[in-house]
Amino acid sequence: MQLLVNIDHVATLRNARGEGYPDPVEAAKICEEAGASGIVFHLRKDRRHIQTEDVYRLKETVKGDLDFEMAATDEMLRISKDVDPELVTLVPESREELTTEGGLDMETVFEDFRDRVFPAYADTDIGISLFIDPNQKDIELAAELGSDAIELHTGTYANAPNETDKQNELKRLRDGAKLAHKLGMKVNAGHGLNLDNLQPLVETVPHLNDISIGHALVSSALFDGLDETVKRFVLIMNNAN
């Protein structure tokens, strides 16, 4: 189990004033030096935070795993193949949303992914992960496509309004992780995770590989420093390993 830090919101802060700082690439360096195993970024179609040039600079700088989150557009397929990250994570994307709001609807995207998207990576060493909710059908369709990994959407768990709902969501995530592992896929997780809800997740859900954390980590770093905050998240995960 390893921490991958999503540095999108460092770019959000930079872009708020149109300045060159804070630099998400410098943030990525600090995160890795503090113990993160890699970096996640989402190059959105509207470029609201990460910019195309950031992506190439991250590729040159990041020493660990680089996870390129993206919508499955022809433009993103082209850029991701040129950048050659360790992993691309395909996500749904809507211009109106503040952040990714749920997993892919696998029945809707299945034929397009089978016929256009997955073949585009056939001549590369780039792994493919699909951001999905912990539903049996979606996980089975991901495996049928030959996906290397799935990223379980943890947002519903993170935002559960009460303990009963939280435990129900943890069970769904646990069952989803077991199924994905049985079907031969790596299991990643992310969305809405923070210092309070990370520990129950990693202690309950088996077979977790990459844990992607961004907004909560960057928010905590404003008060405690980026280096110290990364170390706190890594410690929780190491204690569960």
pLDDT at res. 95 = 62
What's the CA gap between 83 and 56, in Å, rounded? 6
Amino acid letter, 208 = L
96-100, 164-168, 175-179, 217-221: least confident range: 96-100
The residue annotated as part of the active site, out of 9, 49, 69, 169, is: 69
207 is catalytic: no
Helix or strand holding residue 105 (H, E): none
Higher pLDDT, 86 or 102: 86
Tens digit of pLDDT for each residue in 32-91?
Answer: 999 999 999 999 999 999 999 999 999 999 999 999 999 999 999 999 999 999 999 999
pLDDT at res. 106 = 97
Tens digit of pLDDT for each residue in 110-122?
Answer: 999 999 999 999 9
The residue annotated as part of the active site, out of 9, 49, 153, 191, is: 191
CB atoms within 10 A of CB 82: 10
Domains identified in the chain and CATH numbers: 2-240 (3.20.20.70)
What's the CA gap between 60 and 84, in Å, rounded? 11
Contact by Cβ (8 Å): 150, 134: no
Beta bridge partners of 41: 68
69 is catalytic: yes
191 is catalytic: yes
Contact by Cβ (8 Å): 142, 130: yes
The residue annotated as part of the active site, out of 9, 42, 49, 153, is: 42
Helix or strand holding residue 88 (H, E): strand 87-90
- Please report which confidence band the pLDDT of residue 96 belongs to, taking 50, 70 and 90 as the band edges: low
Measure Cα distances from 15 to 44, 47, 138, 214 in Å.
14, 10, 35, 17
Contact by Cβ (8 Å): 56, 22: no
pLDDT at res. 241 = 80
What's the CA gap between 47 and 43, in Å, rounded? 6
Task: Answer whether residue 176 shows pLDDT above 60.
Answer: yes
Could you tell me whether strands 127-132 and 38-42 are parallel, antiparallel, or unpaired per DSSP bridges?
A: unpaired
